[in-house]
Amino acid sequence: MPMTQPLNDKLVLASRPTGLPRPDDFRLEREALPVPGDGQVLLQVLYLSLDPYMRGRMDDAKSYARPVDIGAVMEGGTVARVVASRHDGYAPGDIVLSHSGWQRYALDDGAALRKLDPSAAPISTALGVLGMPGFTAWSGLLQIGRPQPGETVVVAAASGAVGSVVGQIARIHGARAVGIAGGADKCAFVRDVLGFDAVVDHRAPDFAAQLAAACPDGVDVYFENVGGRVWDAVFPLLNDFARVPVCGLIAQYNALPQAEPGPDRLALAMRDILKKSLLVRGFIQREFAHLRPAFLEQAQGWIADGRLRYREDVVDGLENAPAAFIDLLQGRNFGKLVVKVAD
């Protein structure tokens, strides 16, 4: 009796969300397994990374990267196994970092793949602490924030994949790390496991007052991941010549245009930026891509000697990716969120 040919499951963008995405904005489709041509490899996805930036890809709006088309596979970083190869540089069984998106199998020409050594670190870390989030934290903090010994570094979403690394690197460089997180469990993790000097719960009714008390000498570097009311609490605390790497604005990703009517505060913000000589700089980690080897060398060393710790939030099953992604946008994950697609 002939063996059943495996099929490829893929999650595509079914519609562009209004506000917070809903499950029916995604659609699960099934197709025949693709066959590699000359110079291609067939990959089986093992782990899929879920990250806040994906929300922006769901909108048809001008940005630093083009949006996902309706009916196209949702994009995303992956760790995959080569299952068939017609490429001289890859053999079946190789484990690679890829950008295969929300699906079980994918074809790739090998140009952007990077081989991973499963004996060096758990392969899922290539999507987290040793991957794009970790590199985002390292490059944004050290290239833009440039913390000095004794300075105060504040980071929002401090228990997350990026924020957790930012605070630990700040401490490695002799700065004082103050984290902002949501809920008692996350705050305890940031303080007791990651070793931040202080942590403040943004859900506390007196959040702004607690943050000010945790930063008696003001804030020299604010690593922005959130925006919204967290930004409002941090901004008055910024010292002269403070640096603000702007990595993300997750609190605003699902906001509708003009969803929060009120006075235009841009003029006041610009006044203080001028008055305090602030550096506010948005960045995308790929602009520092030439520094990735230095990051990997340093981060692997810090993990080995225990100075850099991480936590993963693993969801089992590709079909559960949409619900997990929606939870991510509401802060319900705890650590770097990855989907385990296959063993």
Rounded Cα gap, residues 66 and 57, in angstroms = 7
Q: How far apart are the first and last CA of the chain?
A: 26
Dmax (CA) of the chain:
78
Confidence (pLDDT) at 134: 97
Rounded Cα gap, residues 322 and 315, in angstroms = 11
Domains observed in the chain: 7-127+311-340 (3.90.180.10), 132-304 (3.40.50.720)
Backbone angle region of 45, left / alpha / beta, with phi > 0 → left and psi within -120 to 50 → alpha: beta
Q: Are 324 and 50 in contact (CB under 8 A)?
A: yes
Q: Is the Cα torsion angle 186, 189, 194, 197 positive or negative in sign?
A: positive
- Name the residue with tokens 């199998």: 105
Confidence (pLDDT) at 62: 79
- Name the residue with tokens 């197709």: 31
Confidence (pLDDT) at 85: 97
Report the DSSP pairing between strands 219-223 and 95-98: unpaired
Rounded Cα gap, residues 86 and 333, in angstroms = 39
Confidence (pLDDT) at 186: 97
Q: Give the mean pLDDT per block of 10 residues along the chain (343 residues).
A: 76 95 97 95 98 92 86 97 97 98 97 95 97 97 98 96 97 98 97 98 97 98 93 97 92 56 75 94 95 97 96 97 96 95 94
Burial category of 181 from C-beta neighbours within 10 Å (exposed 0-12, middle 13-18, buried 19 and up): buried
Q: What is the SS3 assignment for 223? A: strand
Q: With helix as H, strand as E and coil as C, how does 241-277 read?
A: EEEEEECCCHHHCCCCCCCCCCCCCHHHHHHHHHHCC
Picking from 248, 185, 178, the residue whose alpha carbon sits closest to that of residue 207 is: 178
SS3 helix, strand, coil % of the chain, rounded to 5?
30, 25, 45
Confidence (pLDDT) at 274: 94
